[in-house]
Chains A and B, each alone.
Chain A
């Protein structure tokens, strides 16, 4: 069952790969046959694992160890919390990152003035912020969000800033000539022009946000999938740890897949299908 959980998430991406041109496939998507070693490894593990192994419980044990969590609903609640944190964090990061990025990129002086400050904020390792954030904000949702938002903002901010900086001034001048108001200029010119770079930023930020969400939860043991993982590890429920790891992996894959496809869909729509 766990082998299933690890392998099935790959199919959507692969089926998309087969419909695409052969050349593209040669460049990007790896053939499904490549899953063979992983599946083989899991099967061997299942066969060779000693019964009641304290360190390497057989994959079939993983599912069994997760059952109590499924039954009392704590697994679903935990996934819900993690997902909520992830989505809210990513949304906030997008809004903040895109807004600041667009403002900074619009003006060279502001850009130069804030550059070093932003750079020094960027290098703060997210993990190191967790204990500090718990001290200042307590073990709360705000704390979780702050720690997720801070690192997830950078890819979006930097991407939008670069795009805004290299935006042709003609585009803005023309809209002024056409007599568009400030609001219209933002809505009709700026937002469409900056959306692709924002999406690119989101594609980098999304996996990061998920990792940081789990990180906060593992370190602080508050609600969420990471919290469950932390508890399982602390109480030496090895099989449960492996089971939760598989679920976290599936979640990670789902997020990657969703973000990539969303980006593709939006860019297709915006360019009328000319992008591909």
Chain B
């Protein structure tokens, strides 16, 4: 039993990771690795602990995550609604898909200056940026998922007299759920990055701004602490989403062969 568990946990890999940190610490302490602003891992840890106890890090992280999740949830709702419309009503797809392709090829970061111009240095601006970043993957995955529904499923539904709204709700959307979830995961990752950019160039709050001000006040430990926290919260958000989905949409995910 414990053996099987040990096999699942990649002990060797975790040890290697730990080894890298030790090596880093050692190289910085002995002065072999001499970059002017490269802190040792221990320095990052103490800086992180200070930031947490002063409440600075939780506040900034909370702001960033709130804006990210708000924009992303909005994007999910809009993306799924529009995606459903596009996938089910053929003319809508014909007369909009190419426009969406064209808009999508705009590099998303280039949209940040526009958002800053239009909405100023506000939290709304951040939410709009997160929304814009996340809406494309959700929309496109919803379209792809709904179009990939096997025709036989619909035929079976017809035989059982499931049609109209019930067909959409009981057959099509559940079958497309794994695709939509993939879109949501992609969207979450992108909107977190874009929120950071928005905070760096625009709204003076949140982790992005904290990173910039730490850079200007030459505090690399603080920056590392923030970077680590943001990375971890990205992982946690993703894991939360995956966990929640596997509980709520258990059947749908199992049908698609995902766990």
Which residues of B are found within 8 Å of A9, using beta-carbon distances?
102, 105
Which one, B54-62, B73-81, B230-238, B250-258, is touching chain A? B230-238
Mask of B100-125 contacts with A, CB within 8 angstroms, 1/0? 11110111111111101110000000
Shortest Cβ distance from A212 into chain B, in angstroms?
8
Choice from B95, B113, B227 contacting A34 with Cβ under 8 Å: B95
Chain B contacts with A in 167-210, Cβ cutoff 8 A: 192-194, 196-197, 200-201, 207-208
Question: Is A274 interfacial (CB 8 A cutoff)?
Answer: no
Report how many A-B pairs have Cβ atoms within 8 Å: 177
Which residues of A are found within 8 Å of B114, using beta-carbon distances?
233, 241-242, 245
CB nearest to B16 among chain A residues: A113
Which residues of B are found within 8 Å of A34, using beta-carbon distances?
93-101
Q: A128-B227, A211-B107 are in contact. Are A116 and B10 (CB under 8 A)?
A: yes
A230–B113 contact, CB under 8 A? yes
Q: A131-B215, A136-B37, A245-B106 are in contact. Are A112 and B12 (CB under 8 A)?
A: yes
B10–A115 contact, CB under 8 A? yes
Chain A contacts with B in 118-166, Cβ cutoff 8 A: 120, 123-132, 134-136
B230–A135 contact, CB under 8 A? no
Mask of A25-66 contacts with B, CB within 8 angstroms, 1/0? 000001111111110000000000000000100000000000
Choice from A35, A230, A236 contacting B201 with Cβ under 8 Å: A230
Question: Is B17 interfacial (CB 8 A cutoff)?
Answer: yes
Question: Is B14 interfacial (CB 8 A cutoff)?
Answer: yes
Which residues of A are found within 8 Å of B193, using beta-carbon distances?
125-127
A37–B196 contact, CB under 8 A? no
Question: Is A195 interfacial (CB 8 A cutoff)?
Answer: no
B98–A219 contact, CB under 8 A? no
Which residues of B are found within 8 Å of A226, using beta-carbon distances?
109-110
A241–B113 contact, CB under 8 A? yes
Q: A10-B101, A210-B107, A238-B117 are in contact. Are A123 and B231 (CB under 8 A)?
A: yes
Question: Is B154 interfacial (CB 8 A cutoff)?
Answer: no
A33–B117 contact, CB under 8 A? no
CB nearest to B147 among chain A residues: A27
Question: Is A2 interfacial (CB 8 A cutoff)?
Answer: no
B94–A33 contact, CB under 8 A? yes
Interface size on B, residues (CB 8 A): 59
B108–A211 contact, CB under 8 A? yes
Choice from B95, B194, B220 contacting A37 with Cβ under 8 Å: B95
Q: A125-B234, A215-B197 are in contact. Are A115 and B113 (CB under 8 A)?
A: no
B94–A31 contact, CB under 8 A? yes
Choice from B10, B95, B224 contacting A36 with Cβ under 8 Å: B95
A128–B230 contact, CB under 8 A? yes
Q: How far is the CA of A115 from the CA of B230 in the complex (A)?
A: 20
A236–B223 contact, CB under 8 A? no
Question: Is A117 interfacial (CB 8 A cutoff)?
Answer: yes
Q: How far is the CA of A209 from the CA of B233 in the complex (A)?
A: 24
Question: Is B38 interfacial (CB 8 A cutoff)?
Answer: yes
B197–A218 contact, CB under 8 A? yes
B106–A219 contact, CB under 8 A? no
Which one, A172-180, A185-193, A248-256, A263-271, is touching chain B? A248-256
Place the interface of chain A in its size category. 35 or more
Which residues of A are found within 8 Å of B99, using beta-carbon distances?
34-38
Q: A233-B117, A241-B113, A242-B114 are in contact. Are A114 and B16 (CB under 8 A)?
A: yes
A218–B16 contact, CB under 8 A? no
Q: How far is the CA of A7 from the CA of B20 in the complex (A)?
A: 50
Q: How far is the CA of A162 from the CA of B12 in the complex (A)?
A: 19
B235–A123 contact, CB under 8 A? yes
What are 12 sample pairs from A and B whose C-beta atoms fall under 8 A apart? A14-B98, A37-B99, A112-B10, A113-B16, A114-B13, A128-B227, A130-B200, A132-B224, A136-B220, A214-B107, A236-B117, A256-B105
Shortest Cβ distance from A89 into chain B, in angstroms?
14
A248–B97 contact, CB under 8 A? no
Q: How far is the CA of A233 from the CA of B111 in the complex (A)?
A: 11
Chain B contacts with A in 205-228, Cβ cutoff 8 A: 207-208, 211-212, 214-215, 218, 220, 223-224, 226-227
B14–A233 contact, CB under 8 A? no
Question: Is A19 interfacial (CB 8 A cutoff)?
Answer: no
Shortest Cβ distance from A30 into chain B, in angstroms?
3
Choice from A109, A127, A249 contacting B110 with Cβ under 8 Å: A249
